[in-house]
Amino acid sequence: MMAMAELLASGQLWQGEAAASRVTAEERLATGWPWLDQQLLAGGWPPRALIELLVDAPGQGELRLLSRALAGLAEDRRWQLWINPPATPYPPALRAAGVALERQLLTLDLSPALALWSAEQGLASGSCSLVLAWLPHLELAQLRRLQLAAERGQCRCFAIRPAALACQPSPAAVRLQLQRVAGGLQLTLLKRRGGWPLPPAIWPQVS
């Protein structure tokens, strides 16, 4: 028993689902869809992590998904930083979804280098609860930097990237592909912490 505890503490033994689901109640952030919460094993979006959302075009339903995360952190007094959103988010709709408007910080029309800098500053500062970054051109090392910055600043980073990058490797903790289909929003978990990739599932409630 003693040896087992030591192995676990030193990180040499992979725990799979158990490790991923070890999240405190304060850290839990629901996605808004119980099925997805269950599949992500952390009861929702994993804390201190880079989460990749892969979408074909803006407006697939990614902001609907993200607005639940933003609303879930409305009590947090830290910033929610948007990096280079492709269009203007509409405040009355966000407010109706429960988002705290006074906590939102938007950066617009940044060059790729400046966007990456702003994202990293926000993540590592520890004064953001969430960073939403539309960063299409990122190299593997840059993604890794974002992941490390998210861990350092105890922040979740959502990177919204083109679906064409689905087959590229990525250090993100979760990779989720979104696709609009006839019955609703189709989610494909390409990667998750502590589990296998999952076949596509359709979230019917999303209009």
Partner 1 sequence: MRWLYLHFPALALDTLLAGHPVEGCWALLDDNNQLLQCNDTALATGLRPGMALAEALALCDELQALRLQPAQDQQALQRLAEDCYQLVARIHPDPPRGLWLELAAMARLQGPPATLAAQLTTQLQAQGYRLQAALAPQPWTARLLARAGQWLIDDNELCLTQRLAALPLTHCELDPRQLERLQGWGLQRLGQLLALPRAEVRRRAGAPLAQWLQRLEASAPPSVPAYQPSPVFEDRLTLLYEAEQSEGVLFVLQRQLQRLQLWLRQRQLAAGSLQLELGHRQLPATCLRLASAQPDGIAANWLMLARLQLARQPLLAPVCWLRLRSQTLEPLQAPAIDLWQAASGALSPDQLLSRLQARLNPDQLQGLAARPDHVPEQAGLLVAVGERGGDYGHSGRPLWLLPQPQPLAVPWPLLDGPERLASQWWAEPLQRDYYRALAPDGRPAWLFRTAGGHWFLHGWFG
The residues that touch partner 1, with contacts defined as CB under 8 A, are 56-64, 67, 76-79, 86-97, 101-102, 104-110, 114, 117-118, 121-122, 124-128, 153-154, 180-182, 207
Amino acid at 73: L
CA gap 195, 40 in Å, rounded: 8
Beta carbon of residue 106, minimum distance to partner 1 (angstroms, whole number) = 5
Q: Looking at beta carbons only, is 5 or 57 nearer to partner 1? A: 57
Beta carbon of residue 190, minimum distance to partner 1 (angstroms, whole number) = 19
User: In the numeric block, which tokens belong to residue 8?
Assistant: 């676990």
Beta carbon of residue 13, minimum distance to partner 1 (angstroms, whole number) = 28
Q: Looking at beta carbons only, is 109 or 139 nearer to partner 1? A: 109
Q: Looking at beta carbons only, is 197 or 204 nearer to partner 1? A: 204
Asked if 171 and 140 count as a contact pair (C-beta separation under 8 A), the reply is yes
Q: Looking at beta carbons only, is 13 or 57 nearer to partner 1? A: 57
The separation between the first and the last C-alpha atoms of the chain, rounded to the nearest angstrom, is 51
Asked if 19 and 194 count as a contact pair (C-beta separation under 8 A), the reply is yes
Strands 201-203 and 184-191, bridge-based pairing: antiparallel
